[in-house]
Amino acid sequence: MAASIGNFERSNQLRELAHRLIPGGAHTYAKGDDQYPVLSPGFIAKGLGSHVWDVDGNEYIEYGMGNRAVGLGHAYPSVVDAAMRRLQLGCNFTRPADIEVECAQTFLETVTSAEMVKFCKDGSDATSGAVRLARAATGRDMIARCGDHPFFSTDDWFIGDTEMNAGIPEAVQRLTIDFQYNSIESVRALFDRFPGRIACLILEASRGDDPENNFLHEARDLCHRNGALFILDEMITGFRWHRGGAQQFYRIEPDLSCFGKALGNGFSVSALAGKREYMKLGGLEQTDSPRVFLLSTTHGAETHCLAAAIATMRIYQNEPVIEHLYNQGQALRDGIAQAAARHGLGAFVQATGRACCLTYTTLDQDGGRSQAFRTLFLQETIKRGVLMPSLVVSYTHSNEDVARTIDAIDGALGVYRQALENGVDNYLVGRPSEVVFRRFNTRAVPVRELEPAANG
């Protein structure tokens, strides 16, 4: 791995073309150029285990892991082999494939609090399916979502409740209301304010901090007393907190739950699961209630993706994946804390969250969260061969990876210290990154800013 990385010539050429062809230059907002420094890889060519290589041949230890979708490691051999074997038999047919039943059985063996499951392709499909099912089951139209949790769906019911709500009818925006995590009072207040209107609560079981004062169970009980469904979004917590999801870790049975990301180790598969009494409303057996058009996706049960999911779940069942994620995450947290202390930056840069799913904070001179300092930190760790929009480890992150990452962070912190003393603008090349959910672009990102000359 190169000690210092600075050549992004091919990436910069592709950036200019990408922005002409693709709105935002990428198909996922979190992967967009506005989320990264100017001095960063624009495009990844390949990945293996915990490492990726960009189109210019630069190698990185990687900690985004496909926005947390790759829990085992990139191109994990047994998962790829399972997908390839199925793909050679065809991936999409006129009638269901037998692997759909096998995958459902494997999922329900793994997530034991669910009774039925339906597969789809991404998290938005699953969460929006859960919301529709809750509305049908209750005959109500309002959705209460946790305002502390950043993302649930690309669909109107959620995006209408964000700053980036252009194109969402105002009538739809008014149907989603917010409560706060670990505040049972805020949940109770919504039921008091909108009696008989709320179809469901949807939240993540945790973003890192554990629920306090029995919050999850209290919120579920409030839902049931008020005739609403309790939905857990397990896109991130599933296959990280526990192989059976955070619901098994916290011993809470939701009415519905949504899984994805690490379920297929990067292959496109997600799941809506839950209690039979609700899930069957999207089936063919009930005759006493209207049919729910639940999930019907042409590609939702592609056989190679389900094969990848089965192989992935078997590994989680039989190997110490979760333990490894916790161990390596804790080693990272400890090493970063020690490095920050050496530079006198313990109050400015911290690894946060659960060890199996870390992120980090970057504060400015006044102790406020800073996009400029976050961008500088990314810039300097990228230079040192680490790509870390977060600190999410995989099963293939080795002890050597962790040690080299801490060394890279130690070097980046030296620059961070100087930037606190002399001004971040003197060390950051180009503009700072932005938050995803913003009503306006504060400035256009001129593609010419990304030309190779900017690498100097």
pLDDT in tens, 140-184: 999 999 999 988 998 888 898 988 899 999 999 999 999 999 999
CA nearest 362: which of 354, 380, 350?
350
Q: What are the residue ranges of CATH 3.40.640.10 in the chain?
A: 77-318
Residue 391: partners with Cβ closer than 8 Å, 6 or more residues away: 63, 329, 332, 333, 336, 351, 358, 359, 360
Instruction: Give the model's pLDDT for residue 348.
Output: 97
The domain made up of 9-69+321-455 has a fold known as Aspartate Aminotransferase, domain 1 (3.90.1150)
Alpha-carbon dihedral 245, 246, 249, 252, rounded to 10 degrees: -110
Long-range Cβ contacts of 100-108 (<8 Å, 24+ apart): 100/301, 100/306, 102/306, 102/310, 103/301, 103/306, 103/307, 103/309, 103/310, 106/309, 106/310, 106/313, 106/314, 107/259, 107/271, 107/273, 107/309, 107/313, 108/273
Alpha carbons 131 and 313: distance in angstroms, whole number: 26
Question: By the 8 A CB rule, do 252 and 264 touch?
Answer: no
Alpha carbons 49 and 82: distance in angstroms, whole number: 17
pTM: 0.91
CA nearest 117: which of 125, 107, 109?
107
H/E stretch holding 229 = strand 229-233
Alpha carbons 338 and 332: distance in angstroms, whole number: 10
Low-confidence ranges of the chain (pLDDT < 70): 1-4, 436-438, 442-456
204, β-bridge pairs: 233
Alpha carbons 75 and 85: distance in angstroms, whole number: 15
Alpha carbons 323 and 330: distance in angstroms, whole number: 11
Question: By the 8 A CB rule, do 243 and 322 touch?
Answer: yes
CATH number of 77-318: 3.40.640.10
Residue 241 tokens read as: 């907190």
Phi first, then psi: give them for residue 350, nearest 5 degrees: -140, 140
Q: What are the residue ranges of CATH 3.90.1150.10 in the chain?
A: 9-69+321-455
